[in-house]
């Protein structure tokens, strides 16, 4: 009694996992099985023998499977994973011949095969052969290359490298206004006043030489007097005598420059204003592991130290940027004090007020990973890791 086998498809699945592992070489094979009445053999255990035949229809590989069809009569196997009867599936030389797959089926699940079909394998299985490109047989030898003993000087028609441009210049840019822009100009632009708005009727602005600063409205009959370069409301036109601890210039007078100090001017009163309170109870110095060029211990270097840190450090949450971005009591020219400027604050901490007996950041770098601090309990000059949180008090000059 004749039975029918309808082959649906045969595909090749090759998987190679780099240099760590290699999946077996197999072909995924599916077929639909019908009985003598042309009915689907559904959910039925069968016996199946698969043979790979060469161009002369000689079997080069034979194996057996015992699968079960599904609800649609479909059976799926992996050729190359069955019980081997003859040959070696991985040893088939796919490039050397035309090959066919022969399928034999026993509907009773044994090896008495009554259903038979043969199909030619076309291009898909030859992906197995492509895998041989992974390796080369033997050692590659190139007698011309291995005999190469030349260098650049042996070349002919060499270019004259001495005429090449060593440093590129842009004459258009160098002659433009943009060539004169410096980092400080960019900082000033970023801190510019986009909108000038007074908070009280009678408020005024004056130019400090670096920026516009607000002067609050005075009281009736007061006289606006220039004191130490700052417009100041007075009762009779006479500038008040400033002393350390006075409220002035947006904060508290922390130090008055003396003869020999970098910013001392004979006959004028200038010095350091400290913010009335700490700007942070704990913030990193920033840029741990990065060197900031040009910071100094000295009195008068706090602004340049702060600018160097702001420009040279990409970290956002830093002590220097906190002070540089500070706008307090109408003033925006605050900075992180140098080590020596911070010492002046320690010396007058009682009259300035608001300090804790702990360390405060200076703008002076010690190394790529440490910066200098002053301990406000004993006044010791110390260093701390740039990554730890330390208190901050901003200052400005008047």
pLDDT of residue 94: 81
pLDDT tens readout for residues 7-46: 433 333 333 333 333 444 788 888 888 887 888 889 999 9
Rg (CA), the chain: 44
CA distance 305 to 336: 8
CA distance 200 to 111: 105
**Domain chopping of the chain, boundaries:** 4-132, 203-240, 243-397
CA distance 330 to 301: 23
- Over the range 46-62, which residues count as b (16 or more CB within 10 Å of their CB) and which as e? bbbbbbbbbeeeeebbb
pLDDT of 116 strictly over 50: yes
* 361: exposed, middle or buried (Cβ count in 10 Å: 0-12, 13-18, 19+): buried
Please give the mean pLDDT across all residues of the chain: 83
pLDDT of residue 242: 84
pLDDT tens readout for residues 305-341: 999 999 999 999 999 999 999 999 989 999 999 999 9
pLDDT of 85 strictly over 60: yes
Determine the CATH number of domain 4-132. Answer: 2.60.40
Q: Which residue has the higher pLDDT, 84 or 182?
A: 84
pLDDT of 63 strictly over 60: yes
| Placement of tokens 């970023």 in the chain | 190
pLDDT of 154 strictly over 70: yes
Q: What are phi and psi of 172, to 5 degrees?
A: -70, -45
Q: Going by C-beta distance under 8 Å and a sequence separation of 6 or more, which residues neighbour residue 55?
A: 97, 98, 99
Per the CB < 8 A criterion, the answer to whether 30 and 76 are in contact is yes
**Which residues are bridge partners to 263 per DSSP?**
none
Going across the sheet that includes 381-385, the strands are: 280-283, 390-392, 359-365, 370-375, 381-385
CA distance 138 to 239: 98
Phi-psi region of 94 (alpha: psi -120 to 50; beta: other; left: phi over 0): alpha
pLDDT tens readout for residues 176-210: 888 888 888 888 777 766 666 666 777 888 887 77
pLDDT of residue 239: 74
Q: Which residue has the higher pLDDT, 168 or 253?
A: 253
Span of 72-81, 97-106, 137-146 with lowest mean pLDDT: 137-146
């Amino acid at each position: 009694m004749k039975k029918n086998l309808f082959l649906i498809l045969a595909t090749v699945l090759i998987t190679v996992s780099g240099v760590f592992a290699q999946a077996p070489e197999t072909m995924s094979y599916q077929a639909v099985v019908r009985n003598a009445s042309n009915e689907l053999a559904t959910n039925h255990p069968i016996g199946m023998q698969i043979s790979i035949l060469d161009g002369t229809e000689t079997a080069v590989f034979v194996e057996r499977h015992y699968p079960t069809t599904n609800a649609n009569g479909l059976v799926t196997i992996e050729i190359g994973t069955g019980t081997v009867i003859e040959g070696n599936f991985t040893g088939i030389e796919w490039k050397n011949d035309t090959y066919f797959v022969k399928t034999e089926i026993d509907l009773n699940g044994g090896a008495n095969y009554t259903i038979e079909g043969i199909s030619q394998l076309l291009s898909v299985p030859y992906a197995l052969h492509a895998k041989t490109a992974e390796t080369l047989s033997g050692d590659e030898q190139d007698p011309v290359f291995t005999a190469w003993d030349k260098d650049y000087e042996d070349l002919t028609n060499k270019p004259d490298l001495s005429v090449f441009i060593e440093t590129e210049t842009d004459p258009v840019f160098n002659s433009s206004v943009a060539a004169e822009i410096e980092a400080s100009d960019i900082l000033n632009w970023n801190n510019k006043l986009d909108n000038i708005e007074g908070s009280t009727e009678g408020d005024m602005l004056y130019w400090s030489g670096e920026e516009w600063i607000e002067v609050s409205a005075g009281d009736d009959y007061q006289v606006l007097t220039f004191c130490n370069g700052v417009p100041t409301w007075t009762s009779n036109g006479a500038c008040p005598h400033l002393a350390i601890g006075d409220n002035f210039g947006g904060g508290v007078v922390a130090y008055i420059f003396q003869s020999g100090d970098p910013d001392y001017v004979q006959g004028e009163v200038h010095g350091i204003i400290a913010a009335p309170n700490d700007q942070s109870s704990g913030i990193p110095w920033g840029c741990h592991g990065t060197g900031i060029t040009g910071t100094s211990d000295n009195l008068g270097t706090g602004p340049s130290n702060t600018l160097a840190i702001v420009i040279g450090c990409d970290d956002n949450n830093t002590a220097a940027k906190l002070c540089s971005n500070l706008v307090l009591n109408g003033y925006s020219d605050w900075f992180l004090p140098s080590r020596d400027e911070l010492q002046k604050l320690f010396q007058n901490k009682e009259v300035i007020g608001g300090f804790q007996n702990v360390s405060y950041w200076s703008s002076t770098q010690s190394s790529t990973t440490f910066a200098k601090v002053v301990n406000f309990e004993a006044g010791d000059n110390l260093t701390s890791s740039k990554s730890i949180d330390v208190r901050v008090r901003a200052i400005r000059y008047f």
